[in-house]
Each structure stands twice: as C-alpha cells, then as structure tokens.
Structure 1
Amino acid sequence: RWQALFDPTNTGIITFQKFCDVLGVKPEQARTLRKSVVNNRPLPKDLQIISQNMSPEDQFQIFEFVRSQLDKNLSGQDMTQMIKQWLDKTFDPSWHVVIVDGSYWISYSHLPEQSLQFRLKEKCYLVWRTPKY
C-alpha cells in the first residue's frame, strides 16, 4: 500500500518531494517541522556535547551512527575509518575523525557548521570537515 502511494512507478525511490506531494504538505513546512522536532529532542543521558558548530539535525545523525557502531566491538582504528567513510558519504568528503579515551586538547580549523566534539559512554569523538584541496 505504501509503495503504491509513494512510488507508483516502482522505481524503488521515494523522494522528499513525492512524500510531501502525497501527504499534501509543502516541503518547506515539512523541513521547518522536522527542525523544530529535532531541536527539541533531549540528549541521551550517556551523551555529552563538548563543542559543536553544526546543525542539530546533523549532530543527531552522527550521534545515531556512532551509537549504531558501538556493539560491533571494532578496534579504534576500524571505528575511526568506519565513521570517516560514513561522514564522507553522508556529508561530502574531507572529514577528520579522532576518538579519544581520556583528556585531550586540540586546536584546528574547519568549514563552517562542520565540527562536532562529543562524549558517548567512555570515549570522546571529534569530527570536523576541512576544504578539499
């Protein structure tokens, strides 16, 4: 039934525009509503934002992805590579990923709205994006 509504030609793809058209919602209204829902979402108790220069929507995507990888018991090296590959694919290339166990000090440059540092469980995660050269 959902397939017939949102993908009547069986392309296997449901676009945001088609989703809004079927529901009778203007895309900008849907975006505004999503932002208000995400912005008012409480942080999980085991997550602490250390520093951020990023939209709340992007932050939550990153939090959810990192959390989804924790049960895989990856090495630190494999985890940083997995996060970087996902960030490059999801938000465009040139991301840097550091996972820290304990205290750290860091100074770096990044693209606007492309930096996040957070603590999840026992580790700190630092991700930022630089320009492509």
Structure 2
Amino acid sequence: MTNSIRVLLSFLLLMTFSAHVLADCESPLTPIIPDGNVASKDELVSAQKAMKNYQSSLVEFRDCLVGMQEALDPEAEDIAVKTADIGMKFDSSVEAETKVAEEFNLAVRAYKARQAPVTE
C-alpha cells in the first residue's frame, strides 16, 4: 500500500470516528423527582439514585461538548456559531442540573417535614 493511500485511509477513519463522537453528544434525560409531600422513602431513594446517574451522565455530556469544541476548525466560517451553540448547550446542562437538584432537595425537605412529630 502506498503512503498516499495509507494517509487517505487514516484520514477517512479519523473523520468517521470524529463524526461518530460528535454525534454521540446527547444531553441525558432529566430524572423525574417525586412530590415530597406524598412520596415514600423508597421513591426518594430511587430519585436520589436517578439524580446521581443523571449527574454522572451530565459530566460525560459536558466532556463530550468540550471535545466538540476542541475538534472545531478555528479557520471555519461558522466557528462562532458552533462555539456559541456548544456554550449554550453546556450552560443549559448546568442550569438543568441545578434545577433538578433544587427540586430534589425540596422533595426531601417536604418528606422530612411530614415525618416530624406534630407538637401541640
């Protein structure tokens, strides 16, 4: 095999791999947080596990976005648009994580308030 063909095949393989990696940058599904006013302890424990999995998936998602950003051609005409899009997706994932964590904390507080003995 000539060097030209090897270089071409290597380039095509790299481009295929890069496109595959970029296509896999999908935001994870947001977990459903139960209403702490009516949820059972088991439901909250399940929600906590779902939250931890969600947060781990968000780390992977953000790492993927960083990889996308690093893979962009700085000379491309649409670099500003792509950079803004990646930044918006990154920021949106942080906001979503914060919102879900706040919802979970509210549910736990509501559950604990239900468990507290009533004093009269």
TM class by shorter-chain length? under 0.3
Normalised to the residue count of structure 2, the TM-score between the two structures is 0.26
Which structure exhibits the higher relative contact order, with contacts defined as CA atoms closer than 8 Å and separated by 6 or more residues? 2
Q: Which has the higher helix share?
A: 2
**TM-score normalised per structure 1:** 0.24
